[in-house]
Chains A and B, each alone.
Chain A
Amino acid sequence: MTGRTLFFVVLLCCGGSLAIAGGDAARPVFRFGLTPVVLHENTNIYVQLERYLGKAMGLPVKAVQRGTYAQIMDALKSGEVEAAWVCGLPYTRNASWLHLVAVPLNGFDNNKPLYRSLIITSNENVHSLTDLRGRVYAFSDPDSNSGHLVPEYLLHRRGSRPDLFFRAFFFTNSHRKVVRAVSAGLADGGSVDSYVFHALQKDEPELTRHVRVIETSEEFAFPPVVAPKKADSGRIGAFQRALLGMRDSRQGRRLLHQLHLAGFTRGRPEMFASIQAMDREVFTLAVSR
């Protein structure tokens, strides 16, 4: 074999390899974004979710975790993830380029796609939001409806602001960590998602044993699953079908049971109108002061 012949053989081999790689590129991994704001860092659930979605969509699925809603929104914007489970607040703020894929059904609230914001405490002397004046408060994520917007809204309605009302406040970027901060006494009060709180009461009763709910908000639309409008509609459609059909398979039902969800519904953007209205009011009040 001459040197030239050898060169062509190598070239052919490389070409074959590229062709195979191109075949995988035709079916790229579907990246699905999640935050620990709602789900806690249970790797097992992420793996099961990847397996279920991969099987249902006929695609390799990868669950991508980010620490905050802002990071997830950046990932959606950049195309790093094709869809994400986010809060109602970032959805309404970015509704212009986001498409509502599905809304989970809250397993603790009559299987409706609704939830509430709760104000919790472990301080015996605290019985209402008013009692938290001059104390330490824990928010979850700055872009969380239940974990930040709702209590901020309540304070604005009272003519105050977190930095004026509380002695100190901080963000934990997770509803579960808010419960931890309140339970440990680091914060005198905190805001949490009712779905997360009820899930913790069931899964980690020790964490919520000394924690009381002192304020309950009105109902809001459950944190939705969204995708950029520019995303591949075929892949997003497959993803939506997989979510909506989750309760139809045994594997899916098991997963839903672990997530304390009843299933998924298509949802409508109008469901999030109350959150959007509250956000605008807070913004207006903040600007006016």
Chain B
Amino acid sequence: MKRLLARYRSLRLGVKLPLTTAAIIYFAAFSIMAVVLVPQWLNMEENVKADAEGFVQSAALILTPRLLHADYWHAYEELVKLASHAPAGWRTLVVVLDSDDRIFVSNRPRQYPISQRLGKLSDWPESGTRLLRDQRRLEITAPLMNDEARIGTLLFRASLSRLFSFMGWTILKIAGIATLIAIAGVVVGIVTSRRMSEPIVALRRSLGKLQRRQYADVEEIPVRDHDEIGELALCFNQLVHELRVQAELEKQVSKAERLAAMGRMVATAAHEIHNPLGGVLNSLSTLEKHAYDPEVRRSCLQTMHTGLEQIRHVVDEMLGYSRGNIGNKPYRKQDLDDIMRLLMQEAQKQGISLHSAWDAPDCIDVPAGVFQEIVVNLLMNAIQACARGGRVDVSLGQSNGLAVLEVRDNGCGMPESLRESLFEPFCSTKPDGTGLGLWVVCRIVDELGGLIHVESEAGRGSTFRIEIPQPGQQAKGMQKEAARALG
């Protein structure tokens, strides 16, 4: 029963609803049948008994004088007349026996001829009424009395087949009507369940797409009715619309943040260029004054060459970052070194030491462009969080097919209250901060299917640990595990 119930519960709505409707209709029909037909059947039996006993009394009254005068013909005529007035379907059999238990008359003379012995009628009841349900017949034995002397016996038998078949037909008719109603109910159930399940199925599909942030592919749920499902569809469609608007906004904000980040990069680069450019200009001025001094000329040209090399390097990094040259290529150690070099001057200017560690092969299988954004954002936040004399450590490694980036600082740390809204947009403690850095990091990590772990303690610094799955490394890892298992 439990298994059946469990199976029923796991049925689709499109099957469950018509099935339930049909079951309810059948249950109602058979309940009505039981409530109405059973008492009616018992009542009919009693009525038939009473009618039959009345019939037998009349027959006895009429046939007694005929038996007394051995008037076969008139006894037969009256018996046939009487039997013809019996209820249709009784197929009445009346046999009158004389005092010697020989047949005096019967309404079926061929089967029960005059003056024959009882023979096969010996199974009749001794006296009284007997209802044989299994044989579907009623039997009565009544004495024929004259002046308190028994002069014969009247045997009566009525078939109740018609009564049974009437009940059978009634049950069949009710079952038939119930089946027709059940079919109609099933059709209505199928239509209703479809109307109900279609928006739910569409909702389930759309929720899956929402989960995968495929807002553009999310289909709107058609609103047919204004019932609960209609209202649900309306709410969902509204939600989808709002999410699409939000996604569009996020895209725009993200773009703005990238531009802002680029602006900060440009400022840093300008600062980077400014120093060597000053050196180049100084060397050029010295060269103009001491153009004929070979030592000065060589030294100036050397300084100018070094300065211009530095400028070109900064410009190359700038171009690489802005053009996204590194794009979706794997992230290399060189990419980390470049960003370290770019941020080193800024850090040193603030009296902060910047350290990096690369504990991995030459390249890590993550898209370098977006990964570099994560590194830049986390490093710049860490630098900004540190006071003079502070320290920022960045390390990149691999663990279980994951690229693991860890940025640790011993800066001011974050209060508990800030940690809850750390990755929400426009959340910042810095007066000139946009509050979008960590939100961008969070979005990128989400897109790459990674995780962010944050440990922070106010006044003691923070650690951001980013774990990003490397598709290639995971496949290799799985192959290695399989080989190990086989080996």
Q: Are B114 and A181 in contact (CB under 8 A)?
A: no
Stretch at the interface among B2-10, B51-59, B71-79: B71-79
Shortest Cβ gap from A240 to chain B (Å)? 35
Q: Which residue of chain B has its CB nearest to the CB of A167? A: B115
Say how far A135's CB is from chain B's closest CB, in angstroms.
9
Contact with B along A150-181 (1 / 0, CB 8 A): 00000000000000000110111000010001
Decide if B73 touches A136 in the complex (CB within 8 Å): no
- Cβ of A246 within 8 Å of any chain B Cβ, yes or no, is no
Q: Which residues of A contact B76 (CB under 8 A)?
A: 181, 184, 186
Tell me the residues in window 171-230 of chain A with beta carbons closer than 8 Å to chain B beta carbons: 171-172, 177, 181, 184-186
Residue of B nearest to A174 (CB): B73
The proximity string for B residues 207-248 relative to A, scoring 1 for CB distances below 8 Å and 0 otherwise, is 000000000000000000000000000000000000000000
Task: Please give, as numbers and ranges, the residues of chain B lying within 8 Å of A136 by CB-CB distance.
Answer: 72, 113-115
Q: Which of B71, B80, B113 contacts A170 (CB 8 A)?
A: B71
Of the candidates A138, A181, A185, the one whose C-beta lies within 8 Å of that of B113 is A185
CA distance A181 to B71 in the complex (A): 13
How far is A186 from B110 in the complex, measured between Cα atoms in Å?
Answer: 7
By a CB distance below 8 angstroms, the chain A residues around B114 are 136, 167-168, 186
Q: How many residues of A contact B (CB 8 A)?
A: 12
Please, which residues of chain B bring their CB within 8 A of the CB of A185? 109-110, 113
Of all chain B residues, the one with the shortest Cβ separation from A136 is: B114
A184-B109, A185-B109, A186-B109 known; A170 and B72 CB under 8 Å? Answer: yes
The CA of A138 and the CA of B73, in the complex, are separated in Å by 8
> Which residues of chain B have C-beta atoms less than 8 A from A184's C-beta?
76, 80, 109-110
Bound CA span A177–B88, Å: 25
Contact yes or no, B72 A168, CB < 8 A: yes
Contact assessment for A177 and B115 in the assembled complex, using a CB-CB cutoff below 8 Å: no
Instruction: Indicate if the CB atoms of A171 and B113 lie closer than 8 Å.
Output: no
- Residues in A with CB closer than 8 Å to B105 are 186
The distance from the CB of B70 to the nearest CB of chain A, in whole angstroms, is 8
Measured CA separation A92–B115 after assembly (Å): 36
In the complex formed, the residue of B with least CB distance to A181 is B73
Chain B residues with CB under 8 Å of A171's CB are 73
B101 to A: closest C-beta gap in Å: 15
B107-131 residues at the A interface, CB under 8 angstroms = 109-110, 113-115
CA A168 – CA B114 in complex, angstroms?
A: 7
What is the CB-to-nearest-CB distance from B115 to chain A, in angstroms, rounded to a whole number?
5
Most chain A beta-carbon neighbours within 10 Å: one of B70, B72, B77, B105:
B72
Could you tell me the distance between the alpha carbons of A186 and B113 in the complex, rounded to whole angstroms?
A: 7
- Residue in A167, A172, A184, A186 with the greatest tally of chain B CB atoms within 10 Å: A186
Q: A184-B109, A185-B109, A186-B109 are in contact. Are A172 and B115 (CB under 8 A)?
A: no
Contact A170 B73 (CB under 8 A): yes
Chain A hits for B72, CB < 8 A: 136, 168, 170, 186
Interface residues of B in 70-110 (CB under 8 A from A): 70-73, 76-77, 80, 105, 109-110
Report Cα–Cα, A170/B66, bound state, in Å: 12
Per the bound structure, the CA–CA distance linking A172 and B105 in Å amounts to 14
The proximity string for A residues 86-105 relative to B, scoring 1 for CB distances below 8 Å and 0 otherwise, is: 00000000000000000000
A167 to B115, CA, bound (A): 7
What separation, in Å, do the CA atoms of A167 and B109 have in the docked complex? 14
Q: How far is the CA of A184 from the CA of B105 in the complex (A)?
A: 12
By a CB distance below 8 angstroms, the chain B residues around A177 are 73, 77
Interface centre among B73, B105, B109 (most CB of A within 10 A): B73
Contact of A168 among B77, B110, B115 (CB under 8 A): B115
Instruction: Give, as a whole number of angstroms, the nearest-CB distance from A166 to chain B.
Output: 10
Minimal Cβ-Cβ distance residue in A for B103: A168
How far is the CB of B110 from the nearest CB of chain A, in Å?
4
A168 to B67, CA, bound (A): 13
Alpha-carbon distance A172/B80, docked complex (angstroms): 15
Residue among A138, A168, A184 with max Cβ neighbours from chain B (10 Å): A168
Cα separation A186 to B105 with both chains bound (whole Å): 8
Cα distance A108–B76 in the bound complex, in angstroms: 31
Expressed in whole angstroms, the Cα–Cα distance for A136 and B75 within the complex equals 15
Residue of B nearest to A172 (CB): B73
Chain B residues with Cβ under 8 A from A167's Cβ?
A: 114-115
A60 CB → nearest B CB, Å: 34
CA distance A138 to B110 in the complex (A): 15
**Smallest CB–CB gap between A198 and chain B, Å?**
23
Question: How many Å lie between the Cα of A184 and that of B84 in the bound state?
Answer: 15
State A168–B109 Cα separation when bound (angstroms): 13
A170 to B71, CA, bound (A): 7
The distance from the CB of B119 to the nearest CB of chain A, in whole angstroms, is 15
A160 to chain B, nearest CB (A): 18
Centre residue among A170, A172, A177, A181 by max chain B CB count within 10 A:
A170
Chain B residue nearest in CB terms to A180: B77
User: What distance in Å separates the Cβ of A186 from its nearest Cβ neighbour in chain B?
Assistant: 4
Which residues from A are CB-within-8-Å of B110?
184-185
Closest to B72 in A: A170
What's the minimum C-beta distance from A220 to chain B, rounded to whole angstroms?
24
A241 to B313, CA, bound (A): 162
What distance in Å separates the Cβ of B215 from its nearest Cβ neighbour in chain A?
92
Residues of B contacting A170 with CB < 8 Å? 70-73
Q: Closest approach, in angstroms, between the C-beta of A223 and any C-beta of chain B?
A: 21
- Compute how far the CA of A184 lies from the CA of B109 in the bound complex, rounded to whole angstroms: 7
In the complex formed, the residue of A with least CB distance to B113 is A136
Known pairs A184-B76, A184-B109, A185-B113 / 14 extra A-B pairs, C-beta < 8 Å: A136-B72, A136-B113, A136-B114, A167-B115, A168-B114, A168-B115, A170-B70, A177-B77, A184-B80, A184-B110, A185-B110, A186-B73, A186-B76, A186-B105
Show 24 residue pairs from A and B whose CB-CB distance is below 8 angstroms, ordered by the A residue. A136-B113, A136-B115, A138-B73, A167-B114, A167-B115, A168-B72, A168-B114, A168-B115, A170-B70, A171-B73, A172-B73, A177-B73, A181-B73, A181-B76, A184-B76, A184-B80, A184-B109, A184-B110, A185-B109, A185-B110, A186-B72, A186-B73, A186-B105, A186-B109
What 6 A-B pairs have minimum CB-CB distances, sorted nearest first? A185-B110, A186-B109, A170-B72, A185-B109, A172-B73, A170-B73
Q: Chain A interface (Cβ within 8 Å of chain B)?
A: 136, 138, 167-168, 170-172, 177, 181, 184-186
